[in-house]
Amino acid sequence: MPFRSRRAPLQLTEEDRRWLQHLSQSRAEPAGRVQRAGVLLRYHGGETVSAIATHLRTNRPKVERVLGKALALGVRAALADLPGRGRRPTLTPEARAWVVHLACQKPTRLGYAQELWTTRLLAKHVREHCAAAGHPSLHRLARGTVSKLLRAQALQPHRVRYYLERRDPEFEPKMQQVLHVYRTVEVWRRTQAPADFVAVLSYDEKPGIQVLTPTAPDRPPVPGRHPTWERDHEYVRQGTLSLLAGIDLLSGEVLGLVRDRHRSREFIEFLQMAHAHYPAEARIRMVLDNHSAHISRETRAYLATVPNRFEFVFTPKHGSWLNLVEAFFSKLARTLLRGIRASSKDEMKARIELYLREVNAEPVVFRWNYRLDTLSVA
């Protein structure tokens, strides 16, 4: 004798059936909704409660609750939890505020070795000290609840975001001086005014250029096998080089020296190169930072031998982003230095110098536009 359920049959429209079929096969929906969709489809197909529970690896009471909700409230309502289910929250606003207050302190202040909180450590500390703090309801606080409390306050005490403290009390005046140089260059460029009497360089050093020698040859791309160059993970360090470079803000030409170090001696060598490069009557104005080599006794002694030849405009402390040469260094890192390997320092030096000659064959003028319209040129 065929099975006949005492419950009313579940009426599904074709749209409902397709929707439930799609939901029951989804891998993105919550597992509970997927299982409930399967319950409704199988019951609509004539299966018994026991058979449905067996097929879906659940129990009869759960299947019966889903069916009861579907018959009473509709198919859509059967897939969601009824409002008001579960235990009422027991955490008081004061207890939540205390947990947030702890999260905003460093664990080291509370006697831990760790610099930053983890949810495990914070939950452990709360459970151990909640009674003394007057919040006994937190004695069973779980890591998941800690995560929810922090997420509700948009807190991430396990992470660090870096900032740069302004330590130069004259930051704004120095920045204005640098921007005034850029503004003057723009005016000369727009009016095509003769600038033979002055040269403007944006100068800095790029130290720590690593010379890495591969231990095995690179393998070229092979169509149909691997699309990229293949390289052995191991390499030998041959030391580092420093690039001392200045870009001419009017012509885009790059003056550069590649040396092992960047001391006063090397900086003076760059100044001598610039002195020989530009006409004797031109004044060389340089935007540069406050590196010790730029203001050392040796540098001042050299500048005294060429009076009125150089004019230094210093960027404020921690204001290297104001120096336009940093844009050139960024381009250098993306194009030449990315993934570069060399057998020796001499080879690396030769390749950097070749790159500078290639850049100067088709120079690109670097321009600064931010806040220039607010300045005037006297």
Q: Note the pLDDT of residue 375.
A: 55
Residue with more model confidence, 2 or 216: 216
Q: Note the pLDDT of residue 149.
A: 94
Helix 31-44, helix 14-24: angle, nearest 10: 130
pLDDT digits (tens, 9 = 90+) for 39-88: 888 888 888 888 888 888 889 898 888 888 888 888 888 887 766 656 66
Q: Pairing state of beta strands 283-288 and 198-214?
A: parallel
- Check the CA dihedral 254-255-259-262 and report its sign: negative
Q: Note the pLDDT of residue 193.
A: 65
> Predicted confidence band at 11 (pLDDT cuts at 50, 70, 90)?
confident
Give me the mean pLDDT over the 283-288 stretch: 95
Give bridge partners of residue 203 from the DSSP assignment: 246
CATH of domain 172-374: 3.30.420.10
Q: Note the pLDDT of residue 371.
A: 65
| Distance between CA atoms of residues 107 and 112, nearest Å | 5
Q: Note the pLDDT of residue 196.
A: 60
Q: Which residues of 83-111 are buried (b: 16+ CB within 10 A; e: fewer)?
A: eeeeeeeeeeeebbebbeebbeeebeeee
| Distance between CA atoms of residues 356 and 254, nearest Å | 7
pLDDT digits (tens, 9 = 90+) for 93-151: 999 999 999 999 999 999 999 999 999 999 999 999 999 999 998 999 999 999 999 99
Give me the mean pLDDT over the 337-355 stretch: 95
> Predicted confidence band at 294 (pLDDT cuts at 50, 70, 90)?
very high
Domain range summary for the chain, segments of one domain joined by +: 14-78, 93-152, 172-374
> Predicted confidence band at 1 (pLDDT cuts at 50, 70, 90)?
very low
> Predicted confidence band at 2 (pLDDT cuts at 50, 70, 90)?
very low
Residue-by-residue DSSP string for 74-119: -HHHHTSPPTT-SPPP---HHHHHHHHHHHTS-GGGGT-S-SS--H
| Distance between CA atoms of residues 342 and 212, nearest Å | 6
| Distance between CA atoms of residues 366 and 372, nearest Å | 14
pLDDT at 304 over 50: yes
Q: What percent of the chain has pLDDT over 90?
A: 58
Q: Mean pLDDT score of the chain, rounded to an integer?
A: 89
With a CB cutoff of 8 Å and minimum separation 6, the contacts of 170 are 316
> Predicted confidence band at 276 (pLDDT cuts at 50, 70, 90)?
very high
Q: Note the pLDDT of residue 112.
A: 95
Q: Pairing state of beta strands 310-314 and 235-248?
A: unpaired
| Distance between CA atoms of residues 370 and 372, nearest Å | 6
- In sequence order, which ranges of 250-324 are alpha helices (DSSP H)? 264-277, 297-305
